[in-house]
Amino acid sequence: MTPLREVRTARPADMPALAEIFWAAVQRGAAPHYTQAQRDAWLPRALTAEEMAQRVAGQLVLVAEDHGQVAGFMSLRADGYLDLAYVLPEMRGTGLAGMLLAVVENQAYAAKLDRLSTRASALACPFFARHGWQVVAPAPQVRAGITLPATDMIRLIAPAFARSA
């Protein structure tokens, strides 16, 4: 029996699904917060599986499955930077992203990182804030001459590690 929900480490065979989730999240999911021109500047075309693999190379990539299908993913660099955090638009509000984030934070704790950081989109910023992340500063991005609203955020994980270092 397939578990209803599961978080696991990504496999090479997941790259096409991750590329599709990335595309769908930007082009459909971000539509309420970004214009079409902004979304096209953010991700002008869907990545191939090979490009997706290159994009996340060297990072811990966790995927969330819903009823056996990959429905979201997050990627974490060794320095604690949460690089990519996307779920299918239809999975927003289901707890799937929160489940993924909890596993990312547990991995960071196990790696003895004292904090995580990210550059959150206007869509993701409230999600991260609900999960204890703090705003550092606005960090708008300019891509192809178009400004994309974004915010730098941090999440303190294990302050004791920082004191003992």
4: confidence class by pLDDT, cuts 50, 70, 90 = confident
Reported as a single tens digit per residue, the pLDDT across 129-139 is: 999 999 999 99
What is the C-alpha separation between 80 and 59, in angstroms, rounded? 10
Q: pTM for this structure?
A: 0.92
CATH number at residue 93: 3.40.630.30
Q: For residue 82, what are the domain limits?
A: 5-164
- pLDDT at position 2 is 59
Q: Domain count of the chain?
A: 1
